[in-house]
Structure formats: C-alpha cells, structure tokens
Amino acid sequence: MELLPRPRSELAPGAVHVPDWLDLDEQRSLVESCRGWRGYRQTRLPSGGVMSVRMVCLGWHWLPYRYSRIREDGSPVDPFPSWLGDLGRRAVATAYGDGTGYDPDVALVNYYDATAKMGQHQDKDERSLEPVVSLSLGDTCVFRFGNTENRNRPYTDLELRSGDLFVFGGPSRLAYHGVPRTLPGTSDPALGLTGRLNLTLRVSGL
Ligand SMILES: O=C(O)CCC(=O)C(=O)O
Ligand SMILES: [Fe+2]
C-alpha cells in the first residue's frame, strides 16, 4: 500500500486514470473470469512478427486489422457477457460522470508474462469512437500514453497497477498508446496471478 493514495488524473482531455478502482475481491473475481475464457493465443502479424501478449477476445475476435465473428481456427468467439457491459458503464460513469448509453460489445483480454510488451498503436479497428475502458490486474506495467499524431513524443509514461482503471475517449480516443514493459513480481500474492492481465472494453460499431 501507498502511504498516500495515488490521485486520479486526466492525462489529456478524455483520458482518465483512476487508481485502485477495483478492490481485491473484484480483482479476484475478474481474474477467475479471465481464467475461464478459452483460446489465449499469440497473434501473428502481417509483418511476420508475433505479438508477445496472449490474447482472447469476447464478442468479436480481433485480427490484425479488423474484427471477425470467428477465430483463426474457425471456432466462434465467446459471447460478450452482460455483466461486463455493466462494469463498463460503471467505469465510464466513474471517469466521465455519466456512463448511461455506453454499450461495449467487444473485450480484448491480454495476458503479459514477464517479458511481454505491446508497441505503440492506436485502437482504430472499431467503427465507433465510443471510449475504450481498460482494466489492469496483476503485475504493474509501464503504460505509455501518447498523442494522436504519431507514436513518438510527446507521451506520458505512467504505472498501471492491479485494480487501476484507465478510460480514453473523446479527443483522446485515437491516441497512440502501448506497454513498453511490465514489472514482474509486483502482483499481490493474494490475487493468485503471475504476470499481468489487461481487459479493454470497446464498442465495435459493427
Ligand atoms: O495492456 C494494456 O494496458 C493496453 C492494451 C492495449 O492497448 C490493447 O489491447 O489494445
Ligand atoms: Fe490498445
């Protein structure tokens, strides 16, 4: 625990970090749900590279660079659960004061082992500009939140810790962002998770 609570901050218009949003019980329950979803796999990119995170999708399956109802192996995507939509509305309400009408239909669940990272990118395969809700569990990571022009500076590096909420919408919806590294071993043993999980909730617009 911190001596002083980490303050909520708005990094840029529409980009809100809410530390310690989920309590330990809520985090545990979300980790259990993540364990239950099947099909975590490393995505192969058209460039020939393979992403270091292991990902499972709900609602729609993300492929570089589009959404599909089926996965690479032809199997159907698991449904997006309604309770996750409720959580998304609570998240947007916390970030912006009103979550009414936020109706996410996609979740990307990313697992980071000790060496996984994610390069700077925009979340731009959705046809909607509704906000992205990001929830972090387990190991702390360095999250790089940048500008909407390119993957370079200016950007801000902040820590996302277990239970933190980050919402980016409005003028920040298409900001470049990524995870240069995680801090292995920082996960609370009481959570029972080695590594890091991140869930992003999105509106596909499809
Ligand atoms: O792991 C994170 O915090 C970010 C994940 C992300 O940017 C994505 O899934 O598009
Ligand atoms: Fe992203």
Is a pLDDT exceeding 90 seen at residue 167? yes
- Percentage of the chain beyond pLDDT 70 is 100
Is residue 58 part of an annotated ligand binding site?
Answer: no
Is residue 62 part of an annotated ligand binding site?
Answer: no
Is residue 73 part of an annotated ligand binding site?
Answer: no
- In a domain, residue 56? The reply is yes
How many angstroms does the Cα of residue 198 sit away from the middle of ligand 1? Answer: 7
- In a domain, residue 2? The reply is no
Least confident among 1-15, 55-69, 164-178: 1-15
Q: What is the mean pLDDT of residues 143-150?
A: 98
State how many domains the chain has: 1
- In a domain, residue 3? The reply is no
**pLDDT digits over 18-46, tens only?**
999 999 999 999 999 999 999 999 999 99
Ligand 1 contact, 140 CB (< 6 A): no
- In a domain, residue 84? The reply is yes
How many angstroms does the Cα of residue 100 sit away from the middle of ligand 1? Answer: 24
pLDDT category at 130 given cuts 50, 70, 90 is very high
How many angstroms does the Cα of residue 177 sit away from the middle of ligand 2? Answer: 6
Whether the Cβ atoms of residue 110 and residue 155 lie closer than 8 Å to each other: no
Give 84's contacts (C-beta < 8 A, 6+ positions apart). 58, 104, 107, 201
Q: For a pocket test of ligand 1, which of 145, 198, 199, 202 has the largest count of ligand atoms closer than 8 A to its C-beta? A: 198
Is residue 60 part of an annotated ligand binding site?
Answer: yes
- In a domain, residue 25? The reply is yes
* pLDDT at residue 3, as a whole number: 80
- Ligand 1, atom 2: nearest CA belongs to which residue? 198
**pLDDT digits over 170-200, tens only?**
999 999 999 999 999 999 999 999 999 999 9
**pLDDT digits over 83-114, tens only?**
999 999 999 999 999 999 999 999 999 999 99
Ligand 1 contact, 27 CB (< 6 A): no
How many angstroms does the Cα of residue 119 sit away from the middle of ligand 2? Answer: 9
* Interface predicted TM-score (ipTM) of this complex, two decimals: 0.99
> Which range marks the domain in which residue 117 is found?
9-202
Ligand 1 contact, 198 CB (< 6 A): yes
- In a domain, residue 76? The reply is yes
Confidence (pTM): 0.98
Q: In the chain, count of helices (H) and strands (E)?
A: 2, 13
Is residue 21 part of an annotated ligand binding site?
Answer: no
Q: What is the mean pLDDT of residues 116-138?
A: 98
Give 94's contacts (C-beta < 8 A, 6+ positions apart). 18, 21, 165, 167
Whether the Cβ atoms of residue 126 and residue 59 lie closer than 8 Å to each other: no
- C-alpha–C-alpha distance, residues 156 and 201, integer Å: 22
Q: What is the CATH number of the domain that holds 170?
A: 2.60.120.590
Is a pLDDT exceeding 70 seen at residue 1? no
